[in-house]
Structure formats: structure tokens, C-alpha cells
Amino acid sequence: MNSSSILEKVSYIEKSKVDDFINHLINVNQPTSLGFLNQHGYNLIAKSTEIDESFRQLDYVLRDGIGIKIACKYNHISAGENLNGTDLIPSIIKQAQFIHSDINFIVYGTVEPWLSIGANKLFLGNDYQSLDGFKDDEAYLDHFKENCRDERFNIVVLAMGMPKQERVAKLLKHANSARTLIICGGAIIDFQAGRHSRAPDFYRNNGLEWLYRLSKEPKRMFSRYVVGIPIFFANVALRK
């Protein structure tokens, strides 16, 4: 497997079809996993067959960011709508609550107090079960087995970053057969909690959200963007 093959895994959804896709997700009758592919994920996949396999085990992978749009253009693929988790996941949660009156929410990721603040906002004040994002993989599996409810629709948000969340998603998906939507959400809880600020519309509308994040967190994002972007373009060129 290589990075070009992961582009074939992505579901490229046009803007007019996004609501239909969300409705499909919130009506699943078996464990279903959803993830997002961005430039950082592409680089991780390029250097690890194990990470590549974790992404390929996801039921759905969506395009996130201008980097993957560029990779698609280079590989003659129609990129569809940009669907990042920070915007899409709250929409999934809201629509799910119109369909299901009693959702069992579970969230794994980040640290307190951001975990509680972000989860309460994302889940609109509904009860949830949680663990922070720094446990061993088996701890999430054990917790999920204890807290998943066969009689309810389960939504699990993994907010622990790549590639751990994709690895954990694979474990949870095969843990039982309950109606469960497992979402790899990255920094979604931190964004919901206000720990990290979203980029202004100008940056987001022009594919420059990465530049805004770099300006706000230069130390944390230096490796991902200043080092990672040239590596990304090299990976795209090498894997056409």
C-alpha cells in the first residue's frame, strides 16, 4: 500500500450530497467508522504500512483540506467538497438527535477541563461517558465494551489525534455488533471547548487554515506544516 492508494479510499462528496451522506451515517445498523484525510495523515500513511492499514479499515474517509485537493488534482481525481471534522461532526450530532431520541454518547480524547467543556458543548448537554486521550489502546476497548449499549444508537467521538484515533477506531469497530457510529475527530473537542480558536473566514475560505494554526501555535505546528508540507509535496510527486 502507498499514499496514492489511500486517495482511492476517500469518499469524494459533492456539496449537494452532504446532507444525504449524514443521514446515511446516522441510520447505520452496524458498527461504522468515519475518518478524515488531510496533509498530515497523508504523510503518516506514506511512511507506515500499519497506519495505512488503519485508515483503510475505516468505512468512510473524507477529504479534509487543500493539501488533499492538490493531491487529487495531481492524480486526476475529482476532489468534491472539503469536509473537515471540526465543521461536519457537530452537524452529524445535531442531525442524529432529530432521528434518535436516546443516543449513547462516548468520547475519548484531550484532557480536563477541556474534555468536559468540549463534550458538553458538542453533545448539546446530553450525558456521555469519557476517557482522556492518553490511555493505552486496550483501555478504550475495555471502556467501550462496558459502556456500549446494544439497545441504543451509540456515537463514539475519538479526539486523540492521528494515528492513534484511527487505530482505536479499528479496535472498537470489531468489539461488538451494536448500532455504532465511530468518528475520528482530531481536535474537535478542543475546538468546541475554545482551547484552540478557529481561523477567520478568509483563511478557511482560501485553504489557509493551516497558516492560521501555525501562527497561533508555532512550536506545536512547526513539524506538521513547516517541515510536513514540503514532505507532503514530495510524497505526492513520488506516488503518482
- Between 116-120, 128-132, 193-197, the lowest mean confidence (pLDDT) is in 193-197
Query: How much is the average pLDDT of 27-52?
Result: 96
Q: Kindly give the pairing relationship between strand 153-159 and strand 103-109.
A: parallel
Q: What is the pLDDT of residue 1?
A: 43
Query: How much is the average pLDDT of 117-129?
Result: 97
Inform me whether the pLDDT recorded for 3 exceeds 70: no
Query: How much is the average pLDDT of 223-231?
Result: 94
pTM: 0.94
Where residue 206 falls among pLDDT bands split at 50, 70, 90?
confident
Task: Give the whole-number percent of the chain exceeding pLDDT 90.
Answer: 90
The strand order across the sheet containing 180-184 reads 60-63, 32-37, 180-184, 153-159, 103-109, 128-131
pLDDT digits (tens, 9 = 90+) for 58-77: 999 999 999 999 999 999 99
pLDDT digits (tens, 9 = 90+) for 145-195: 999 999 999 999 999 999 999 999 999 999 989 999 999 999 999 999 999
Q: Tell me the C-alpha distance between 54 and 6, whole Å.
A: 11
- What is the number of alpha carbons within 13 Å of residue 105 lying toward its C-beta? 21
Inform me whether the pLDDT recorded for 35 exceeds 50: yes
Task: Give the whole-number percent of the chain exceeding pLDDT 70.
Answer: 98
Helix 137-147 vs helix 164-173: crossing angle, to nearest 10? 40
104-189-81-221 Cα dihedral, nearest 10 degrees: -150
Mean pLDDT (the chain) is: 94
Q: Which residues contact 29 (CB under 8 A, 6 or more apart)?
A: 179
Q: What is the pLDDT of residue 113?
A: 97
Q: Tell me the C-alpha distance between 57 and 171, whole Å.
A: 10
Query: How much is the average pLDDT of 132-138?
Result: 97
Where residue 207 falls among pLDDT bands split at 50, 70, 90?
confident
In sequence order, the β-bridge partners of residue 60 are 34
Query: How much is the average pLDDT of 2-9?
Result: 78
